[in-house]
Amino acid sequence: MKLTIFNQIHKELGAKMVEFAGFQMPIHYKNGIIFEHKAVRQSVGVFDVSHMGEFEIEGSDSLSFVQKVTINDASKLIPGKAQYSAMCYHDGGIVDDLIVYRLEENKFMFVVNAANIDKDFNWLLENSKGFDVKLKNVSDEINLLAVQGPNSLVSLQKLTNIELGSIPFYSFVFGKLADVDLIISRTGYTGELGFELYFRGDFELAKHIWNSIFDAGKEFNIEPVGLGCRDTLRLEKGYCLYGNDIDARTNPIEAGLGWITKLNKGQFNGSDVISKVKEEGPARRLVGFIVESSNFIPRQNHKIFTDGNEIGFVTSGNLSPILEKPIGLGYVRSEFSQPETIIEIEARGKFFPAKVVKLPFV
């Protein structure tokens, strides 16, 4: 298994370590997932997300290449801006969801899911023929911390002269924090105020940044937080997880990602198929639901029924620490996708009533 640069720190803090996407990662620390989840919602938490993949794309054709391989409109980006996007196969299936950063006029950075690094980079190489672009997989060079929660800004502001409050959502700056050169980005996948810190360097430098952040956030009871609450936080906001809610068999329209699919920007991979699905309407849609029973947690691949008829399947499910109710995402036939629709989740031969709701849950 690969180790992030913070691996030793996680173990010293008593983290429960698990294998995730080929990395040994903290699932939670001593106080557990629900405690960490609430720390992020109510104050501030720090995720090590150094397992994520980063690719640099540079060259005179970089914009036209990015336009071909992603579904959002990268021409809207100026240096210092980022956007949530996805890559699709020619049949409209999703290769991965990602964040696109425009570093310079002719230089971009893709941040992709850890489990898809090799697949994604090979897909980009395959699509780069005929373009004047240079692709570089810098995933092993870059360390990444996500500092998330309502007190993330006041904590980090102590460590930098950059006016963090002036960084708009989905924007970033190059600068110093704790006297270290890095990229400070304001994105995040928790639904809370938050920042990502991208930097290169050795363990001593990484430890210095980690300790500086925790010293700065001490008055706000800053907590290290693991992948367990990263999943519950994104689920409460109805955000898709690749491998669960989206994959090569789903297209952006049925997954509720029409808002990042810019069909008017010109041709891109899968655009013809996606356009047809949008025009005709998808046969199924990704929905959120709340389970009425408190003693059942919906899980991936549980079947969804209504009136005894199978209409879909669960893609993600968990207990919402904020609602204190079981929640989930799943695909259902489009005619059953309206909020307030009553459905049933089948598990081990039993049926548990649930209700389709408008996202986000929280």
Q: Do 59 and 123 fall into the same domain?
A: yes
Q: Are residues 41 and 147 in the same domain?
A: yes
108 in the same domain as 66? yes
Domain of 184, CATH number, reads: 3.30.1360.120
Residue 294 pLDDT class (50, 70, 90 cuts): confident
Q: Are residues 231 and 155 in the same domain?
A: yes
Chosen domain end from 72, 107, 136: 136
Mean pLDDT score of the chain, rounded to an integer? 98
Q: What is the pLDDT of residues 181-228, one digit of tens each?
A: 999 999 999 999 999 999 999 999 999 999 999 999 999 999 999 999
CATH code of 102's domain = 3.30.70.1400
Answer yes or no: do 34 and 79 share one domain.
no
Identify whether the C-beta of residue 291 lies closer than 8 Å to the C-beta of residue 299: no
* Tens-digit pLDDT profile for residues 270-293: 999 999 999 999 999 999 999 998
Which CATH number do you get for residue 313? 2.40.30.110
- Are 305 and 343 contacting, i.e. CB atoms less than 8 angstroms apart? yes
The answer on 217 and 338 residing in a single domain is: no
CA distances from 3 to 51, 170, 203, 214 (A): 8, 28, 12, 21
H/E stretch holding 80 reads none
What pTM does this model have? Answer: 0.97
- Is residue 362 included in any domain, yes or no? yes
Per the structure, the count of domains in the chain is 3
Instruction: For residues 53-82, give the mean pLDDT.
Output: 98
Task: Residue 179: name the closest of 204, 154, 146 by CA.
Answer: 204
Both 97 and 167 in one domain: the answer is no
Looking at the fold, whether 150 and 229 belong to one and the same domain comes out as: yes
Same domain, 46 and 57: no
155 and 39 in one domain?
yes
Of 334, 352, 326, the residue nearest 235 (C-alpha): 326
Ranges of H-type helices in 29-129: 33-42, 62-69, 117-127
Mean pLDDT confidence for 70-80: 98
Q: String of b and e for 217-243 (b: at least 16 CB within 10 Å)?
A: beebebbbbbbbbbbbbbbbebbbbbe
State whether 155 and 26 are in the same domain. yes
DSSP lists the bridge partners of residue 16 as 28
Task: Single out the residue in 136, 162, 192 at which a domain terminates.
Answer: 136
| Residue 266 within any structural domain of the chain | no
Which residue, of 136, 158, 174, is where some domain finishes?
A: 136
State whether residue 97 is helix, strand or coil.
strand
Q: Please state, in angstroms and rounded to a whole number, the distance separating the CA atoms of residues 302 and 245.
A: 13
Residue that has been written with the tokens 């990484």 in this structure: 206
Q: For 160-180, what is the mean pLDDT?
A: 98
Q: pLDDT digits over 85-113, tens only?
A: 999 999 999 999 999 999 999 999 999 99
One domain for residues 132 and 146: no
In Å, what is the CA distance from 19 to each residue of 110, 227, 244? 24, 11, 17
Please indicate, yes or no, if residue 171 is contained in any of the structural domains.
yes
Place of tokens 């968990």: 318
Q: Is the pLDDT of residue 140 over 90?
A: yes
Per the domain annotation, does 253 fall within a domain?
A: no
pLDDT at 135: 98
Is 242 a domain residue?
A: no
Is residue 13 predicted with pLDDT exceeding 90?
yes
Q: CB neighbours (10 Å) of residue 183?
A: 19
Under 8 Å CB-to-CB from 194, ≥6 apart: which residues? Answer: 146, 147, 148, 149, 152, 186, 187, 188
Q: What are phi and psi of 319, to 5 degrees?
A: -85, 130
Q: Rounded to 10 degrees, what is the CA torsion of 299, 339, 291, 257? A: 20
Residue 76 structural domain: 53-136
